Amino acid sequence: MNRLEARIRDYLAKNLNVIARDLTLVRTEFPLSNSAGAGGSIDILARDLAGHYVVIEIKRSDQTARAALHELTKYVALLKSTLGVRPDQIRALLLSTEWHELAVPFSEYRRICEVPADGYELTVASDGTVTNAIQFEPRELDQPLNISRQQFIFFFVNRDSRDSAISGLASAAHASQLKDFAIFSFNYQGSNKQVIFPFCAYFVFSSPLLGLTSAAAEKIKSAIPWDEELDDLEENFLCALAEKLEIENDDAETGYPEKLELLLQQGWNLSRAHRFGRYQTNAPLLTDAQLVVEATKKEGGANHYLQRTASPKYRPSWTKFEEDSQHVLLGNGTWTLIFNHIIHHTQAQFPQATVSAHIYNPANAVISLGKLFATGELEYLPGFQLVVTHDERVSLYVGVLCWDGRPVGLTAERWIETVFGSIDHWMVMNHFGEQFQRDDDACARVGLKSAVIEVINPGSDAEAANVMYIQNDQISSAPLAESPYFSIADFYESNRSFGVDLVQTLASFSHGLIN
């Protein structure tokens, strides 16, 4: 602490009412130490009327202000660890004569700090007398970008019409309170002759409401028509966009990450990404192709697929990986239970491990089996691969559907009605993405079981393979050769008549569900 800071400290110690009337001095230069030697002393330690210990740190220049947050963090930590003070008993105050370099990092510090923190801008005479103290107003900081699941697609007969519509679409987006958004120009290069609008503008955005205070969020909401009854409030921005839009498109439909992924698989190729706001400024970090992948939510946020690599040693991304995997596994109780067991065991026993996951789980047995019997391809079935790598070994886990060996004794229509009540009710649940709630039951009624194959040190001389499954509500394991189940290929070959019936039943009331 330099001389002027010392004078400020001594003045405030005698005049804490300049900052707040309820503060009582405990001590100046309150010493804190620990066995690691990373100690220090709090400029001023005070108490307030609510009984909080108030840590007061004083800085007087931009250069020293940059070290202030480190000091505050350290002193709060030492109060807890050395003196045993609970976090709910601590407050922090940062006093500075300069806030130019401090405003943004302190605003972020307030957001993430576990104890309440306030700042004051001081006006100080040369002798250390504080002539004025104004409470710092935290900055409203933009939060990290996160592409919304609410997306939209505008289709066009020709390229020129699509390209000329981009500027109008961008103007409508700005008028709808959106500033961080992108418009993907896609051209259809596939072989489906039924595609009559081969050019599209695919609109994605990051919600401006992320991380805002209630007051700031209300200001944005009041600028556009806002409906609090919508299932996803971010849909309001697309509604506003539609109202303000003045372009000539030939067709349009709602988009979402899974639909974008399907378009890419069907032969829609990116021609150009029109980027706005921070999506424009972050182009050196995030290529157009990577931005499209973000919009598909492959690495988290999609409903039925996930491709992600994570490690327990990086806690924030590991926690996000756990949350995303749980979301994608919804509808399959066996996989959820076994997957959680693997993840928690890895975290506890091998915290330095690297975990790579590829999960596909539409949790829609009716559609998956319909496509299986219509095409003979297993790729439409749910499954996952999980690779766990650490110093001791490599483990591969493969989630598979199996068969208990009982021939299906239901017609396809009766199967759907038994599980969902009626075909109409299944279609409604399918439309709203709720069919996963009954997917375990749907599988069980045709003899399908979920299991996980564990392969330890695959490809090596020490390779060992086991099957993990649920028995009596507990995880059981057996050598793969002793599996209690038959393969899904056996199910396919042994239940062809049911498969033909299922394909015909689906075709009788729908078009395009399985072809």
Task: Spell out where 79-235 has E strands.
Answer: 90-96, 117-124, 130-135, 151-156, 181-188, 199-205
141 is a domain residue: no
Cα 444–chain centre separation? 31
Q: Indicate which CATH number applies to the domain containing 18.
A: 3.40.1350.10
Same domain, 394 and 462: yes
Same domain, 4 and 65: yes
21 is a domain residue: yes
User: What CA–CA distance (Å, rounded) separates 173 from 183?
Assistant: 10
pLDDT at 38: 60
Beta bridge partners of 181: 205, 276
Domain limit, last residue, from 296, 329, 345 = 296
pTM: 0.77
User: What CA–CA distance (Å, rounded) separates 58 from 77?
Assistant: 18
Same domain, 338 and 390: yes
Q: Which residue in 267, 450, 457 sits closest to 363, CA to CA?
A: 450
User: What CA–CA distance (Å, rounded) separates 109 from 69?
Assistant: 8
User: What CA–CA distance (Å, rounded) separates 429 from 431?
Assistant: 5
514 is a domain residue: no
**Structural domain that includes position 51:** 1-136
Residue 45: Cβ-neighbour burial (10 angstroms; 0-12, 13-18, 19+): buried
pLDDT at 447: 98
Same domain, 225 and 331: no
513 is a domain residue: no
pLDDT at 239: 96
pLDDT at 63: 57
515 is a domain residue: no
Domain limit, last residue, from 248, 278, 296 = 296
111 is a domain residue: yes
142 is a domain residue: no
Q: How many domains does the chain have?
A: 3
Same domain, 439 and 464: yes
Same domain, 363 and 256: no
**Phi-psi group of 297: left, alpha or beta (phi > 0 → left; psi -120 to 50 → alpha; rest → beta):** left
Per-residue pLDDT of the chain (515 residues; tens, 9 = 90+): 578 889 999 999 999 999 999 999 999 999 987 655 566 899 999 999 999 999 999 987 655 555 778 888 888 888 988 889 999 999 999 999 988 888 888 888 887 788 999 999 999 998 999 999 999 988 766 678 999 999 999 999 999 999 999 999 999 999 999 999 999 999 999 999 989 999 999 999 999 998 787 888 999 999 999 999 999 999 999 999 999 999 999 999 999 999 999 999 999 999 999 999 999 999 998 999 999 999 999 999 999 999 999 999 999 899 999 999 999 999 999 999 999 999 999 999 999 999 999 999 999 999 999 999 999 999 899 999 999 999 888 999 999 999 999 999 999 999 999 999 999 999 999 988 999 999 999 999 999 999 999 999 888 888 899 999 999 999 999 999 999 999 999 999 999 999 999 999 999 988 777 76
Q: Which residue in 503, 112, 119, 148 sits closest to 302, CA to CA?
A: 148
Instruction: Give 408-448 as a DSSP string.
Output: P-S-HHHHHHHHHSSHHHHHHHHHTT-GGGGHHHHHHTTTE
Same domain, 352 and 462: yes
Same domain, 177 and 283: yes
Domain limit, last residue, from 104, 136, 168 = 136
Same domain, 112 and 189: no
Same domain, 64 and 118: yes
Same domain, 123 and 76: yes
Same domain, 409 and 380: yes
214 is a domain residue: yes
